Structure 1
Amino acid sequence: MSKEKLRIDKTCLNCNYVVDERYCPHCGQENTLSRKTFHHLFIHFFEDLTHYDNAFWRTIFYLFFKPASLTKAYMAGKRLSFLAPIRLYIFVSFITFLLLSLFSNETTLVKNTLKKTNKNELIIPTIDSLHIEEKSVDGLTKVGILSQQNNDTIKKILQQTKIIDKKEVADFGYKSVNELDSIQKNANEKLKVSSTEYWFLKKWLAIKEDNSNEQIIEKFTTSFSHNLPKVLFMYMPVFAFLLWLFHDKKRWYYFDHGIFTLHYFSFLLLLILTLFFVDKLFPLLGKDPILKWTHFSIKSIGIFWMIYYFFPAHRRFYGDQFFTSLFKSGFIILINLVIISLLIILFALYTFTNLS
């Protein structure tokens, strides 16, 4: 029950009907003041999504530990006892990607802060910054400052450092856009690339000229994570369509598969968020072997449950025989994995070519 004060005026602000009690008997609107504080709006937003009562926690419990029971209850008409599927997905998606983004930004901020050193701090130079070459090492060995064994060790370190320094995010054999254009115009046909490859390479080389490897990785990660919720949301109709293809069209409507998909994707996001916080929490508790074993066990169980969850959910909701359900659910998962893999590759390429 709302604790807000009622308006003195008994006329409904929405339909002008006479309101004798708290709610209008004609349209159902609460007869309270229309001007609210920001605190009220913020609290009301989460109340509207979760109801802040047993319905929210019952929904989360069913979603985690009773595969398909939530979907079956909703389809049976028990809709006030649980959160509506679309509200559940929007809430879980919002919270998941918000918290993942916040913690990701916090990690980046810590890294950037650590890079900024004060004048009084001791800065340890790297081997590359000292400009040590193999010839100078040989010279120190000749005059007796270094032994031959130390000479060999330092050379190996230098060679390994050079290999690491030369590593890039992706190297397609072109140093610049000008070099690519020159080869495309003047080289023989064997060295030229197709128009699609040329377009991609030109985009990529332009990005490399304006950004370092670290900047490219950071921008790609940020862009990818920010747009992933949109990709998942757009993929859900495809997932539901695949379910529709494999089941009786007379018994099951596309709407039914859509509800099952909303609940399944909500479960995946919520479990991903849970495992994310498990990874964040346990390192803070210490390095005790028991804690490490507990962390590993919880994470392993979570990953197993994420993979296995679809099979009992599919069988309980659609009511097929064990082997029939196993075949259908396995084939559906396999098809989805192929499609999702292709979409992730395409999305990654799209993200790379649109970095600025």
Structure 2
Amino acid sequence: MSHNKIREDKTCLNCRHVVEQKFCPNCGQENSDTRKTFHHLFVHFFEDLTHYENAFWKTIINLLLKPATLTKEYLSGKRLSYLAPVRLYIFISFITFLLIAIFPSKVSDQINDNGKEISENIIKNSKNKEFKKEADKYFKMKSMKEIDSIQKYGPEDKKLNAFSYWVYEKAVHVTEKNTKKEIIEKFIESFFHNLPKILFIIMPFFAFFLWLFHNKKRWYYFDHGIFTLHYFSFLLLIFLIMFVVDRLIGLFGEDSPLSFISTLVSIVGTIWMCYYFYPAHHRFYGESRIVSFVKSVTLFIINSLFILFLLTFYVLYTFINLH
């Protein structure tokens, strides 16, 4: 229940209708004072998202443990008992990427440390000489002066086409201006910064593939869109839980006996993320288990390839735009 101060004026600020009680009978707007403190705005933001009552926790529990329940309830008309799909996704996204923005260093440090360890192992391992040679070639590229000379005077089979020349020019610029460590750090930072955009790009295509695989008369694209919003909200929520547990356990140090909890949560979370789509698909679309399994696996493969396709272009975009 809201604790906003009720206005003495009985005229609705939204539609100018006479308000005899707390809410306008014409448009539903609360007849409260519109001038708020920052504290009130902050509290109101979370109150609005969680509906105050038990809607928030009810939504979270169903999202985590009962695949497709939220989607079925929403499409059946039971919408006030749970957070709306878009609001749910925005809320989880906000919390997830806020925490990632606040605690990015550990992610970078871990990947940099792992990258350093891998590089050292490669150097020590004689079987990986060819790989090391190729890696060195990548970070020790020809200068643009050499490339331009080849383009002008070299044999045809050594010359680059227009697109390859443009990419190579960008790559040379990046490797000349940044060390290997800086390139990795900037890539990681850019990846997490742009992850929300990637997810938003993927979601409508994910819903489109669902639409292609199901009865067009029974299911509208809107239905698949709601299913997709709930599924992606689940994926983000699992990621958020694993992230928070990892950070909390990390406060006790890497050698803490509690570290196994973080590992266990990550393993269980990853398995549940991979399996979740099948029961969600089966319960929502109501098809036989065999049909649901075949469609789930097929859709998983298609979407994985599509995501890989998008990420390939994203990696290129990120690499080109390093400064």
Taking a change above 3 Å as real, the CA distance of residues 199 and 41 of structure 1, as seen in their structure-2 partners, is same
Partner of 1:200: 167
Give the Cα separation in 2 of the matches to 1:25 and 1:355: 55
Partner of 2:146: 179
Taking a change above 3 Å as real, the CA distance of residues 37 and 106 of structure 1, as seen in their structure-2 partners, is farther
1:27 aligns with 2:27: yes
Partner of 2:114: none
5+ unaligned residues in a row in structure 2: which ranges? 110-122
Partner of 1:335: 302
1:267 aligns with 2:223: no
* Matches for 1:44-59 after TM superposition, within 5 Å: 44-59=44-59
Partner of 2:100: 100
The answer to whether the 8 Å contact 2:211/2:220 transfers is yes
Q: How many residues align?
A: 308
CA displacement, residues 306-351 of structure 1 (integer Å, 9 cap, x when unaligned)? 1000000000000001111111111000111111111111111111
* Matches for 1:243-282 after TM superposition, within 5 Å: 243-282=210-249
Comparing 99-108 and 77-86, the one that deviates more = 99-108
Partner of 1:118: none
Taking a change above 3 Å as real, the CA distance of residues 211 and 103 of structure 1, as seen in their structure-2 partners, is same
> Cα RMSD (Å) of the superposition?
2.8
* Matches for 1:276-355 after TM superposition, within 5 Å: 276-285=243-252, 287=255, 291-355=258-322
Letter aligned with residue 211 of structure 1: N
Q: State TM-score, norm by structure 1.
A: 0.80
Deviation at 1:207, TM superposition (A): 1.6
1:83 aligns with 2:83: yes
Give the Cα separation in 2 of the matches to 1:264 and 1:324: 19
Give the Cα separation in 2 of the matches to 1:324 and 1:102: 44
Give the Cα separation in 1 of the matches to 2:156 and 2:140: 17
Give the Cα separation in 1 of the matches to 2:107 and 2:277: 33
* Matches for 1:150-189 after TM superposition, within 5 Å: 171=138, 174-189=141-156
5+ unaligned residues in a row in structure 1: which ranges? 110-155
Match of 2:177 among 204, 210, 217: 210
Give the Cα separation in 2 of the matches to 1:298 and 1:6: 47
The answer to whether the 8 Å contact 1:22/1:31 transfers is yes
Taking a change above 3 Å as real, the CA distance of residues 172 and 310 of structure 1, as seen in their structure-2 partners, is same
Comparing 99-108 and 321-330, the one that deviates more = 99-108
Larger radius of gyration: 1
Deviation at 1:106, TM superposition (A): 7.0
**Partner SS state of residue 67, structure 1:** coil
Give the Cα separation in 2 of the matches to 1:32 and 1:245: 48
CA displacement, residues 100-134 of structure 1 (integer Å, 9 cap, x when unaligned)? 1211057769xxxxxxxxxxxxxxxxxxxxxxxxx
Give the Cα separation in 1 of the matches to 2:80 and 2:17: 27
